[in-house]
Amino acid sequence: MTKSKGENTAPSPAISKQMRSFMPYAIFTTFVFMILSAYLLPFGYMVITALKSKGVSASPSAPLWPAIESTFTYEGKEYDLYKVPDENGVTHNWAMFKKGREESLFLDPENPDAGPVTWVGKWRTLDRVWKFYINWGNFVRVWTELRMPLLLWNTVVIATLGTIGTTVSCTIVAYGFSRFRFPGKDAIFTVLIGTIILPGFVTLIPTYTIFYRMGWVGTWLPLIVPHFFANAFNVFLLRQFFMTIPHALDEAAMIDGANPLQILVKVVLPQSLPVIVAVAVGHFLWSWNNYFDPLIYLLSERDLHPIALGIQSYNSLYGTEPHLIQASSLLGLLLPVALFFFAQRYFIQGIVFTGVEK
C-alpha cells in the first residue's frame, strides 16, 4: 500500500534512538580528528616542504604540494609555460617565446607548427604552470653535505650508552627505595625528588668547571657518564611501579633461596618490562634531541657532533632554502619515530596489565 501525500513519514522510534546514541560518538570522533589534524599539521608541512624544489616555496603562485615549473621544448630550447588568457577570456597554457613590455610572443604547445602568437599585456602578471614533482635529490644532498652517517653514528653511540646507564642505575636505586628499609630513607628520597625542580642553569657553571678540570670538555664523557648515576624523575617512576608488585613474590623467592639481586632480576624486572622500556625510550629520545649539552661541551669538535647540533649548524648555512632544512629535520626524525612505534606495544601492556596479572 502506498502512503498518501499527507501521511506522516517521520523515522521510527528505534531509528531515532540509534541516531541519538550514535551522535556522541560522532561528535567525539570529529573532535579527536580535529585535534589530531592540528597536531600533525607541522609534520605534514615538513614532509611536503622537504619534497619541494628550490625556489618553489618562495614563489607566490606555487601550489602547496611538491611541484615544479612546467616547460615546453621547441627546436631544442626550453620555454616556460604561463597561464595566458585570450580576448575571449579563455585561459591557455602557452610557452613564453619572446618577452616584451606591452606585447609578448607565445607558442601553443598543442600546435607549435602554427608559430608564435602575439599577446597584448604585461607578461609579469601571468601565473606559471606547475606540475606535480617530488624532488628526492634534497635528501641525497643533505645526506652528503651534512655527513649524516657520521652524525647518526655519534648520536646513536651517545644515546645508547646514556640509555643503558640511566636504565641500569635508576632501576637499582628505585629497587632499593621500594624494597629495603634503612635510616633516613624518606629524607633521602625527598631530597632526591626535590632535585627535579632544580633549574639546570644553577648547576651549569659548577658542572662545566668540574668536567673542564677533569679534561672531559671536547669529549663524549660529559654526555654519557652522568647518566650512570640515576636521575630523580626516572627513579620516582620506577619506584612507584615497583611498589605495585606484591611483596609476597619476593618472600616466595627468598624461601627458594634467592638473594636480593636475584629477586630483582628474576622477579621484579620481568614484571616491570613496560615501565623499563618507557624509561629507556624516553631517555633515548631526550638524548637524541639534546642540543644544549653538546653545544656546551662539543662545539669545537665537529667530528663528535650529534645530529641535533649538526642539523642546527646546517640550518644556519641554508636558512634561505627551507626545502633543505626540512629534509635534514625529516632525516633526523626517522629513527626516533620508528623506535617509538616499535616500543608502543610495551606501553599498552603497562596500561592493560598490572602486578600479578602479568
State the residue for C-alpha cell 615549473. Answer: 69
DSSP classification of residue 97: E
HSE-CB for 279 with a 13 A CA cutoff: 28
Statement to judge: residues 164 and 118 lie in one domain: no
Encode burial over 23-61: b for 16+ CB neighbours within 10 A, e otherwise: eeeeeeeeeeeeeeeeeeeeeeebebbbbbbeebeeeee
Per DSSP, the three-state class of 72 is strand
Amino acid 8: pLDDT: 53
CA dist 339 and 343 (Å) reads: 6
Does the structure show a pLDDT above 50 at 1?
no
> Are the CB atoms for 208 and 221 separated by under 8 Å?
no
> Are 120 and 168 within one domain?
no
Do 185 and 159 belong to one domain?
Answer: yes
> What tens digit of pLDDT does each residue of 37-57 get?
888 888 888 888 899 888 787
If phi over 0 gives left and psi between -120 and 50 gives alpha, with beta otherwise, what is residue 184? left
Least confident residue range of 99-103, 142-146, 210-214: 99-103
Q: Which residues are within 8 A (CB) of 194 and not within 5 positions of it... i.e. 6 or more apart?
A: 232
* CATH number of the structural domain spanning residue 77: 2.30.30
The reply to whether 24 falls in a domain is no
Same domain, 173 and 220: yes
What is the mean predicted confidence (pLDDT) over 99-127? 87
3-state secondary structure of 135: coil
Asked if residue 171 lies in contact with residue 238, where contact means CB atoms within 8 angstroms, the answer is yes
- Cβ neighbours around 240 below 10 Å, total: 13
275 Cβ contact list (under 8 Å, min separation 6)? 237, 238, 241, 350
Is 250 buried (19+), middle (13-18) or exposed (0-12) by CB count in 10 A?
Answer: middle
Q: What is the mean pLDDT of the chain?
A: 85
**Percent of the chain with pLDDT strictly greater than 90:** 30
Portion of the chain with pLDDT greater than 70, in percent: 90
pTM over 0.85: no
Is position 249 within any domain?
Answer: yes
Residue 338 lies in a domain: yes
Q: Distance (Å, rounded) from C-alpha 3 to C-alpha 9?
A: 9
Q: Report yes or no on 78 lying in a domain.
A: yes
Q: Which of 103, 128, 153 is the last residue of a domain?
A: 128
pLDDT score for 17: 61
- The pLDDT of 80-104, averaged and rounded, is 87
The answer to whether residue 13 sits within a structural domain is no
At 79, is the secondary structure helix, strand, or coil?
strand
The full DSSP string for 334-347 is: HHHHHHHHHHHHHH
Host domain of residue 93: 71-128
Q: Which three cell numbers stand for residue 93?
A: 597554457
Distance of CA 347 to the CA centre of its chain: 18
99: CB partners within 8 A, 6+ apart = 123
Q: Are 129 and 70 in contact (CB under 8 A)?
A: yes
Q: How many domains does the chain have?
A: 2
